[in-house]
Amino acid sequence: MAEISNKSPLAPERFPELPAVPGVKIAGVAAGLHYRDRPDLTLAALAEGTRAAGVLTRSGVVGAPVTRCREQLGRPERLARGLVVNAGNANVFTGAAGEAAVEATAAAAADVIGCDAAEIYLASTGVIGAPLDPAPIEAAMPGLAAALSPMGWETAAEAITTTDTFPKGASATVVIDGETVTIAGIAKGSGMIMPDMATMLAFLFTDAALPGAVLQTLLERAMDVSFHCITVDGDTSTSDSVLAFATGAAGHDPVADADDPRLGDFAAKLAAVCIDLAQQVVKDGEGASKFITVEVTGAESDVSARRIGLAIANSPLVKTAIAGGDANWGRIVMAAGKSGEPLAVERIAVAIGGRPVAEAGAIHPDYDEAAATEHVQGQQIVIAFDAGVGDGRARIWTCDLTHGYISINADYRS
């Protein structure tokens, strides 16, 4: 990816070296859909017999690609032979023209891969409400197919970005029945991030031999500890999609049950890849300068803990205080209070950077504001909040809110 002058200060040094996943070839090219002189169209070709799983936005306004994916994932066989992703245009609120663009894109991809158009999954990201002209996609498809490679991850990851400042990737390997199994994924996301399901876009690939229903269960479990736990600005995209594909090319015996003990390590590594990608999205939050972890304990339930954590993580007052290096812990208590979740005020405890701030519903006698201020002036911030009610817990990741967020979104369509 070309060097970006405004690259997030939280970005990794470089894109990771992702391994080949047997049964997967991928590429990205510059099709001129919205951006100049950068990749904006991705194609993945998948081995025959690949099964798909997905978690999609629950927004009431969705793009034509999301509608298509919902239909495909509702089929028992969940067969997939290809994935096409375009950046710069979300193909949302585009009516019949949007549906026609989806059909034309799927047909063009099916033609170069040699499969049924019904086995092509699609995703789009970018401006809402602008018609998507499929002609440049159709014209680019032969060259995109010619560029397919088992190692085309970085360009493909770049081609799905919009306001991102770096491409995102992660991988892991596991052993099932003595056979090495690979998991690799790419993601995009920077703003419009409080997924009511996932991130803006993420795509996971494995050569594990898994039925679609098993892959679906494992993906949903991984989402619960990763993409469901991030927020940048409290907004849920119309295009949020996390899709996973299992090619079945690994040599292990097929697994028919998500709770099969042979899948224990696979499930853990799938979750780890999702967590890695989700955290990269937060570290690339629009205008972000600090990565914030909110640890909630003592809630009525895990669901309640997540809601409390998101209330803290989404508070503009909390996020701007941290941006300014101000350890204003009263804003943390305020944000938890507005969550609507049960709290035992007389037992609430707060810590910043591992140091006690409040305890038993009042300021801690050993509170050291200078130490708390020093912590929030760093790049890695940890806030702990105990609701004093039960055993529920959750971990949420977010970023600070700076002037950069306003600048990026004020100029987004310019």
The question of whether 199 is a catalytic residue gets the answer yes
> Which pLDDT belongs to residue 1?
40
Q: Are residues 324 and 188 in the same domain?
A: no
Q: What's the CA gap between 27 and 43, in Å, rounded?
A: 6
Domain presence at residue 383:
yes
Among residues 50, 57, 162, 199, the one annotated as catalytic is: 199
> Which pLDDT belongs to residue 407?
83
Q: Are residues 138 and 211 in the same domain?
A: yes
Q: Are residues 299 and 277 in the same domain?
A: no
Q: Are residues 169 and 256 in the same domain?
A: yes
Quick one: CA dihedral 150, 227, 293, 327, positive or negative?
positive
Q: Are residues 277 and 308 in the same domain?
A: no
Q: Are residues 358 and 399 in the same domain?
A: yes
Model confidence pLDDT, tens digit, residues 5-57: 489 999 999 999 999 999 999 999 999 998 888 999 999 999 999 999 999 98
- Mean pLDDT over the full length of the chain: 94
Tally the domains of the chain: 2
> Which pLDDT belongs to residue 3?
41
Q: Are residues 298 and 276 in the same domain?
A: no
Domain presence at residue 271:
yes
> Which pLDDT belongs to residue 255?
94
The backbone torsions φ and ψ at residue 179, rounded to the nearest 5 degrees and listed phi first, read -105, 135
Domain presence at residue 15:
no
Q: What's the CA gap between 21 and 172, in Å, rounded?
A: 11
Q: What's the CA gap between 395 and 403, in Å, rounded?
A: 26
Q: Are residues 97 and 208 in the same domain?
A: yes
Q: pTM for the whole thing?
A: 0.93
Q: Are residues 243 and 353 in the same domain?
A: no
Task: Please enumerate, as own/partner, the contacts of 218-223 that have beta carbons within 8 Å and a separation of 24 or more.
Answer: 218/53, 218/258, 218/263, 218/266, 218/267, 218/270, 219/53, 219/54, 219/55, 219/244, 219/270, 220/55, 221/258, 221/267, 221/271, 222/267, 222/270, 222/271, 222/273, 222/274, 223/55, 223/197, 223/198, 223/274
Domain presence at residue 17:
no
> Which pLDDT belongs to residue 4?
44
Domain presence at residue 10:
no
Domain presence at residue 357:
yes
Task: State which of 283, 301, 320 marks the end of a domain.
Answer: 283
Tokens of 186: 């790419």
CATH number of the domain where residue 181 is located: 3.60.70.12
Q: What's the CA gap between 39 and 306, in Å, rounded?
A: 36
Domain presence at residue 16:
no
Domain presence at residue 264:
yes
> Which pLDDT belongs to residue 20?
98
Task: State which of 283, 316, 333 marks the end of a domain.
Answer: 283
CATH number of the domain where residue 337 is located: 3.10.20.340
Residue ranges making up the domain that contains 171: 24-283
Task: State which of 283, 313, 345 marks the end of a domain.
Answer: 283
> Which pLDDT belongs to residue 198?
54
Q: Are residues 338 and 230 in the same domain?
A: no
Q: Are residues 360 and 264 in the same domain?
A: no
pLDDT means per 10 residues, the chain with 414 residues, are: 67 97 97 89 98 93 94 96 96 95 98 98 94 96 98 98 95 97 95 68 97 98 94 82 97 94 98 97 92 98 96 96 96 97 97 97 95 97 98 97 84 60
Q: Are residues 33 and 84 in the same domain?
A: yes
